[in-house]
Amino acid sequence: MNLFSEDGPNCLASGGTYCYYLTQVNLFSRSNHFIQTVRRNLMLRHHPNFYINLIGLLLVALVAGSFAQITITSNEYPITFGEEVNIVEVTAQTGAGIPVNVGNTGGPQNWVFTETLYPGGEPFYHKVIDPAGTPFSNSFPGANHAWYAFEVDTTTGDTSEIYLYYNRATSSLFWLGNGAQGMGFSSVSVNTPPEVLFPFPATVGSSWSNNFSSTNDIGGGVIFFDTTSNQLTIDAWGDITAPLGTFPCLRIREDAEEISETYFGGVLFSSDTIRFIAYSWVTENIGLLANVESRKGETNPNFTAADNVNFRTNSPTAIGDKKSPLTSKFSLAQNYPNPFNPETTIRFAIAKSGFTTLSVYNVTGQEVARLVQGNLSAGTHQVQFNGRNLSSGIYYYRLQSGALVQTRKMLITK
């Protein structure tokens, strides 16, 4: 079977991402990119594919009254250490995407993001912390606040800590990069130059752009190099209803292109380019309330189908008791170890019993191994894969059960 003849290309186009979020942070459009990174390879490749995902979470409020338009300055963006930000992320489970209504430019308008309208999402919990004393603070000397998340993979039970570093300056709010540790690795990715998440002062009509890169050397000769270009505009205003309540808001539009390259031993093994449109809704004293990311390759700003929908929700318990699930229900975990030679373990979970396949493909889409083929019971499973007969390089492993498909990337080093 050729991987590229079915729905595999969609997964491969995003760098081997699996359906779920992280994560592919991006948690809100691209700053959650990191979380999308965790989803994508659990190796901090700066995507998601989530998330202005966490980006917007950092954006403070923008409106002083219903249907009002305001200007926000640096002093109006608060940094409150210990504040919790809890997000529900809904990820498309089919190629049709999630039905959405993003509205139009201008205003006033009304938007609704609730668990009733968008059911089946995954919770993600974050806390605003002082970057001093965090594991990666030396890599981000300009950071004046950070976001912390403690993640658990419900398929494997593995855990990791994620840190995203920011700087609120007089001119702009900057995203400096991120770091993660756990699951047998430690990794840091620095944005060069830092990404402007929000310029000060800002109001309806404000626009800005970014062109930055990040390099992540995970050892073993494997290096991830990512380049992001985006154009952002505050283009609409109105009211938004979310689990936290109804608030006046501003809408931020992002048009993004992300190029992800993987090098092994100094040789380029793969290069993936994705383009998408994202919208974020922000309000004063809270920040980001919702984010929607289009399907990959979307060019229509009034799109009606999305890959991800994220929105703020209430906090039922203390952050110390919370662990954000990296996977649940139907899921495919990152193989471990990765890179590997010659053997690695692949864990996965299926929500209900049924015919299931797990196959391995090379970069041309040719199937080189079939690890699972048959009826499996609902729950968590794992298989061993031995690549002793394969050459060094990047391979993809693809899980399919019913209509659900997930694909991930792994690397054999010899």
Domain boundaries, the chain: 20-327, 331-412
Separation of alpha carbons 177 and 213, rounded Å:
10
N- to C-terminal Cα distance for the chain?
Answer: 26
**How much of the chain is in helix, strand and coil states, percent to nearest 5?**
5, 55, 40
Contact 246, 312 (CB under 8 A): no
Whether this prediction's pTM lies above 0.85 is answered by no
The string of DSSP codes covering 71-130 is: -B-GGGS---TT-EEEEEEEE--STT-EE-----SEEEEEEE--TTTS-S-EEEEEEEE-
Going by their DSSP bridges, the two strands 222-242 and 106-112 should be labelled as parallel
Contact 90, 308 (CB under 8 A): yes
In this predicted structure, what is the pLDDT of residue 152? 67
Separation of alpha carbons 166 and 369, rounded Å:
43
Tokens of 52: 């202005």
In this predicted structure, what is the pLDDT of residue 166? 95
Q: Which CATH superfamily is domain 331-412 in?
A: Macroglobulin (MG2) domain (2.60.40.1930)
Separation of alpha carbons 332 and 400, rounded Å:
10
In this predicted structure, what is the pLDDT of residue 219? 67
What are the strands, taking DSSP E only, across 113-244?
122-129, 145-153, 159-168, 172-182, 185-199, 207-219, 222-242
Spatial CB neighbours of 193, under 8 Å, sequence gap ≥ 6: 212
3-state secondary structure at position 335 = coil
Contact 369, 360 (CB under 8 A): yes
In this predicted structure, what is the pLDDT of residue 331? 79
Contact 101, 305 (CB under 8 A): no
In this predicted structure, what is the pLDDT of residue 28? 42
Tens digit of pLDDT at every position of the chain (414 positions): 333 233 333 332 333 322 222 232 333 444 444 344 333 333 333 333 333 333 333 343 333 344 568 777 888 777 899 988 888 888 887 778 899 999 999 999 999 999 999 998 878 888 999 999 899 999 999 999 999 988 766 556 667 788 999 999 999 989 999 998 876 677 899 999 999 988 888 789 999 999 999 988 766 677 888 999 999 999 999 999 999 999 988 899 999 999 988 887 788 877 889 899 999 998 887 878 999 999 999 999 999 999 999 999 986 544 444 455 444 467 788 888 888 999 999 988 887 778 899 999 987 778 899 999 988 888 888 999 999 999 988 888 988 887 677 788 888 988
Separation of alpha carbons 411 and 341, rounded Å:
9
Separation of alpha carbons 95 and 405, rounded Å:
10
